[in-house]
Amino acid sequence: MVGLWSVLALTLVALRWIDPPTTAVHIERRMQAWIDNKPYHERYEFVPLRQISPDLQHAVIAAEDARFYQHHGFDWHQIQIDAEEDADGGRLRGASTLTQQLVKNLFFGTERSILRKGAEASLVPVAEFALGKQRILELYLNVVEWGPGVYGAEAASHYYYGVAARNIGRDEGARLAAILPAPRKRRPERMNHYSALIEERMSQMGW
């Protein structure tokens, strides 16, 4: 176990300079399609952060991790809020940060387990230290699942809007961010209410 952790930690360090050719989620989806004997077409193109619209970057941060630039991998403030909402039966969103989601996507896929959560948590500080915020954001935006076989901002922008990620506007960015919690079920054009909330949150954050 220690040996595997060391390999994953070294992989995170290498990802400071190397763009990942695939992720655990990508592999998981390919395997699922093969087992189910269903067609599968993967769209994945890694692009530099400067080629991803600031509106899309801001929308994803506002939707998924509003304190991204303030925390160090774990948003303890949001965790406390979620614990209080759980107690009241009114939880609306999770406290998983972009860094946590990136580590999960890269190495662990979508399966949930105590063991996986523990391994994920131990690698989050490594990612924060080795990669830095901008590279974490760049990696996340490029590998995250955005639809059936659709991974990353560039592929998602072409798939849903027929444009490059650099050309995504504020409304489109908010709609793309709105489908991230359930990318294989949601569609941007149906996200009117949630995308409006994301745009409002972006404005509150100064974007």
**Quick one: pLDDT at residue 60?**
98
**Crossing angle of helices 133-143/114-131, nearest 10°?**
130
Judged against a pLDDT cut of 80, whether residue 171 lies above it is answered with yes
Say what the pLDDT of residue 79 is: 63
Per-residue pLDDT at 151? 98
pLDDT band for position 115 (cuts 50, 70, 90): confident
pLDDT tens, position by position, 122-136: 999 999 999 999 999
CATH code reported for the domain at 2-204: 1.10.3810.10
Residues 6+ apart with CB under 8 A from 152: 44, 45, 46, 47, 141, 142, 143, 144, 146
* All structural domains of the chain with their residue ranges: 2-204
CB atoms within 10 A of CB 135: 16
Token couple for 109: 């896929």
Most distant CA pair in the chain: distance in Å? 47
User: Which has the closest alpha carbon to 42: 138, 148, 177, 184?
Assistant: 148
Residue with tokens 């131990």: 122
Mean pLDDT in residue range 52-80: 90
